[in-house]
């Protein structure tokens, strides 16, 4: 009985800290919605004022449209894994007394996540969350709730470590943020053929990729969302694919909301393309822009191939090997037929170095166009009157022009 009394006293003491200014538990109370979702299970179907919601084992911690806590769901019993991972200490550890599973609470400066919020802070926060969750071996789909274990509730074992509020940049210093392009492969319908939700998600997200640029320029986020809703409703015919029934309207709405927000904030297109590099006038017809772009692409490829052939020739010359088309193609990584199309490059390489001799009585030095250096080597001996000077001009590409200057 004494042990039970001590546990009750500790729980009462933690409950009091909800109302002590400057504590982590007080921040849980003040940052929670005034009317919070709460209940005795994860459904959190009840709505109560936050002073009453903290009496339930599960509650809504982050306000709608704001994230003040990054909460990580650990489905293992290593609540101190943050030490092994080299991460900073969480503010709160809320642990299941039976299974050992826990929620780690990190207090952060509030980030607005409404439709009118700036996208970059939200993307930055999500990237940090995913990186930290990977280090903690946490559930990456939890995304801080919205419902979590209520800190300080008697059901859980709560450890309050500190009340420091982290800046996102401080947390980012401990992890490597991954850069991925999840839209580069195309819809993977064969891999998700067993799930209606996944099939709809794959179809919907690639449709969103195809229209998001136009809507950003000419439309709005709300119009973009309405188009996705229409597409999703038209695609909800899974009974034709062998399923017993179509998806519920609530599932469609949730999928549309998720795809719309993510695509609008994060989709930039395939990184292998460089659209807009020529900065063409958007009023030009599409066919004309495509023609100009194709001409530029051809010119760039032509110059790259020409450079490969020339470099291969110089390398073979240094090795004193024969300049055959097969050898050049082997060194340059090209076919013999491609090398044959650049025969003029071989002619340039075989052409002998030109030596220009100026007039005997001329003492005027004429600058060579594009010359880099002019080095004059005098052949005059001490006491000579009619000495001769040589002027060596070094040109780009290793060409040299020797000029004879008479004194």
Shared-domain flag, residues 199 and 321:
no
Three-state SS string across 260-272, please? Answer: HHHHHHHCCCCCC
Q: Which residue from 297, 291, 263, 252 is spatially nearest to 277, judged by alpha carbons?
A: 297
Give residue 298's pLDDT. 77
249 versus 183: the higher-pLDDT residue is 249
Give residue 178's pLDDT. 61
Q: Let me know if residue 108 belongs to a domain.
A: yes
Overall average pLDDT of the 115-136 stretch: 85
In 90-238, which ranges are continuous DSSP H helix? Answer: 119-136, 168-172, 196-218, 221-235
Q: Which residue from 133, 122, 130, 158 is spatially nearest to 73, judged by alpha carbons?
A: 133
Torsion angle, alpha carbons of 312, 318, 324, 330, to 10: -40
- Is residue 386 pLDDT above 70, yes or no? no
> What is the Cα–Cα distance from 66 to 247, expressed in whole angstroms?
30
Shared-domain flag, residues 156 and 102:
yes
The domain in which residue 365 lies consists of 354-407
* Residue appearing with tokens 């200014």: 21
What tokens appear for 137 in the block? 């071996």
- Number of structural domains the chain divides into: 4
- Is residue 405 pLDDT above 50, yes or no? yes
Shared-domain flag, residues 81 and 12:
yes
At 202, the pLDDT band (50, 70, 90 cuts) reads: confident
What tokens appear for 96 in the block? 């299941």
Give residue 361's pLDDT. 47
Of 125-134, 349-358, 375-384, highest mean pLDDT: 125-134
> What is the Cα–Cα distance from 252 to 241, expressed in whole angstroms?
17
Give the domain-ending residue among 266, 295, 318: 266
> What is the Cα–Cα distance from 134 to 140, expressed in whole angstroms?
7
> What is the Cα–Cα distance from 120 to 108, expressed in whole angstroms?
16
Q: Let me know if residue 390 belongs to a domain.
A: yes
> Strands 58-60 and 147-149: what pairing?
antiparallel
Give residue 327's pLDDT. 85
Mean pLDDT over the full length of the chain: 78
Torsion angles phi and psi, residue 3, rounded to 5:
-65, -40
Answer whether 93's CB lies under 8 Å from 61's CB. Answer: no
Shared-domain flag, residues 315 and 337:
yes
Shared-domain flag, residues 344 and 393:
no
Shared-domain flag, residues 364 and 327:
no
What tokens appear for 392 in the block? 């060596």
> Strands 92-96 and 58-60: what pairing?
unpaired
Q: Let me know if residue 271 belongs to a domain.
A: no
Q: Let me know if residue 404 belongs to a domain.
A: yes
Instruction: Measure the N-to-C terminal CA separation of the chain; round to a whole number of Å.
Output: 118
- Is residue 379 pLDDT above 50, yes or no? no
198 versus 165: the higher-pLDDT residue is 165
Q: Let me know if residue 274 belongs to a domain.
A: no
User: How many CA atoms lie less than 13 Å away from 38 in the CB half-sphere?
Assistant: 23
**Number of Cβ atoms within 10 Å of the Cβ of 218:** 8
| pLDDT tens per residue, range 87-102 | 999 999 999 999 899 9
- Is residue 381 pLDDT above 50, yes or no? no
| pTM for the whole structure | 0.47
CA 96 from centre of chain: 36
How far from 251 is each of 149, 196, 233, 244, 246, CA to CA, in Å?
A: 25, 10, 11, 16, 10
Give residue 184's pLDDT. 53
Shared-domain flag, residues 19 and 80:
yes
Q: Let me know if residue 281 belongs to a domain.
A: no
> What is the Cα–Cα distance from 297 to 265, expressed in whole angstroms?
30
Shared-domain flag, residues 151 and 227:
no
Shared-domain flag, residues 31 and 112:
yes
Give residue 293's pLDDT. 76
Element (H, E) at 46: strand 46-49
Q: Let me know if residue 106 belongs to a domain.
A: yes
Altogether, the residues listed in the chain come to a count of 407
Apex 163 CA angle, 157 and 166, nearest 5: 115
DSSP track, 138-153: --TT-TT-SEEEPTT-
Q: Let me know if residue 178 belongs to a domain.
A: no
> What is the Cα–Cα distance from 25 to 276, expressed in whole angstroms?
51
Give the domain-ending residue among 333, 350, 367: 350
Answer whether 159's CB lies under 8 Å from 92's CB. Answer: yes
| pLDDT tens per residue, range 2-30 | 445 554 555 556 667 788 888 889 999 99
Residues whose CB is less than 8 angstroms from the CB of residue 39 and which lie 6 or more positions away in sequence, other chains included: 45, 46, 56, 58
Least confident window among 51-55, 146-150, 189-193, 230-234? 189-193
Shared-domain flag, residues 224 and 260:
yes
> What is the Cα–Cα distance from 86 to 309, expressed in whole angstroms?
51
Q: Any idea what the CATH number is for the domain that residue 200 is in?
A: 1.10.340.50
Backbone Cα Rg of the chain = 36
Residues whose CB is less than 8 angstroms from the CB of residue 386 and which lie 6 or more positions away in sequence, other chains included: 406, 407
Shared-domain flag, residues 22 and 159:
yes
Q: Which residue from 227, 233, 236 is spatially nearest to 199, judged by alpha carbons?
A: 236
How far from 385 is each of 359, 360, 362, 379, 407, CA to CA, in Å?
A: 18, 15, 16, 11, 8
CA 113 from centre of chain: 19
User: How many CA atoms lie less than 13 Å away from 258 in the CB half-sphere?
Assistant: 16
> What is the Cα–Cα distance from 77 to 67, expressed in whole angstroms?
26
Shared-domain flag, residues 156 and 60:
yes
């Amino acid at each position: 009985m004494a042990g039970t009394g001590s546990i009750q006293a500790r729980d009462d003491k933690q409950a009091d800290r909800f109302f002590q200014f400057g504590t982590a538990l007080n921040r849980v109370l003040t940052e929670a919605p005034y009317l919070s979702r709460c209940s005795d299970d994860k459904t959190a179907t009840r709505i109560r004022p936050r002073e009453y919601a903290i009496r339930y084992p599960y509650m809504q911690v982050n306000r709608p449209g704001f994230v003040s806590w990054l909460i990580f769901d650990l489905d293992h019993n290593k609540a101190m894994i943050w030490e092994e991972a080299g991460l900073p200490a969480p503010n709160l550890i809320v642990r299941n007394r039976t299974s050992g599973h826990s929620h780690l609470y990190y207090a952060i400066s509030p980030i607005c996540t409404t439709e009118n919020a700036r996208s970059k802070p939200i993307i930055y926060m999500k990237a940090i969350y995913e990186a930290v969750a990977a280090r903690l071996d946490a559930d990456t789909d939890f995304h801080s709730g919205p419902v979590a274990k209520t800190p300080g509730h008697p059901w859980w074992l709560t450890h309050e470590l500190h009340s420091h509020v982290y800046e996102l940049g401080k947390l980012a210093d401990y992890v490597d943020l991954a850069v991925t392009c999840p839209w580069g492969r195309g819809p993977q319908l064969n891999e998700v053929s067993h799930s209606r939700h996944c099939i709809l998600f794959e179809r919907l997200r690639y449709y969103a990729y195809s229209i998001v640029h136009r809507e950003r320029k000419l439309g709005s986020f709300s119009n973009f969302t309405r188009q996705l809703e229409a597409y999703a409703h038209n695609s909800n015919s899974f009974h034709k694919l062998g399923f017993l029934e179509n998806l519920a309207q609530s599932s469609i709405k949730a999928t549309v909301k998720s795809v719309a927000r993510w695509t609008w904030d994060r989709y930039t297109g395939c990184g292998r393309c460089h659209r807009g590099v020529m900065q063409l006038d958007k009023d030009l017809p599409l066919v004309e822009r495509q023609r100009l772009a194709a001409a530029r692409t051809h010119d760039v490829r032509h110059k790259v191939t020409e450079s490969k052939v020339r470099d291969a020739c110089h390398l073979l010359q240094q090795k004193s090997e024969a300049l055959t088309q097969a050898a050049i193609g082997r060194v340059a990584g090209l076919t013999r037929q491609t090398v044959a199309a650049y025969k003029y490059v071989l002619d340039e390489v075989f052409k002998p170095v030109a030596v220009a001799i100026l007039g005997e009585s001329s003492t005027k030095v004429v600058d060579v166009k594009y010359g880099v250096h002019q080095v004059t080597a005098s052949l005059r001996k001490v006491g000579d009157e009619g000495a001769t000077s040589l002027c060596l001009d070094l040109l780009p590409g290793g060409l040299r022009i020797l000029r004879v200057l008479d004194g």
